[in-house]
Amino acid sequence: MMYPGNPMGWGNSGWLWWMPMGLMMLLFWGLVIVVLILLVRWLWTQGQGRADAQIAETPLDVLKKRYARGEITKEEFDRIKQDIL
């Protein structure tokens, strides 16, 4: 049955078709936003991981490695260690 002002002939039940489509659109954009947030958080933690790895080695660690490789003597090690601490 055709109603005036409704060329498709959907009558009063036309909203039944638009409601599921609107919900699907909301779900789609919600999923896109969640994926973007997770991607940004993952990239942020990846960048911090590299920075932490670079900072993790203290000057005392470097000094100990140099002494272990024989680059400096015991006296130099003790003197530099006092300067560091």
1 assigned to some structural domain = no
- pTM of the complete model: 0.44
Quick one: which H or E segment has residue 38?
helix 15-55
List pLDDT tens digits, range 37-65.
999 999 988 877 665 556 678 889 999 99
Which residues form the domain of 45?
11-84
**Residue of higher predicted confidence among 31 and 19:** 31
Question: Residue 37: inside a domain, yes or no?
Answer: yes
Domain assignment of residue 15, yes or no: yes
pLDDT confidence tier of residue 26, bands split at 50, 70 and 90: very high
Contact present, 9 and 2 (Cβ < 8 Å):
yes
Number of domains in the chain: 1
Please give the average per-residue pLDDT across 68-75, as a whole number: 94
Rounded Cα gap, residues 23 and 20, in angstroms: 5
The residue among 1, 18, 19 whose CA lies nearest residue 10 is 1
pLDDT (0 to 100) of residue 20: 83
Domain presence at residue 6: no
Quick check: is 51 in a domain? yes
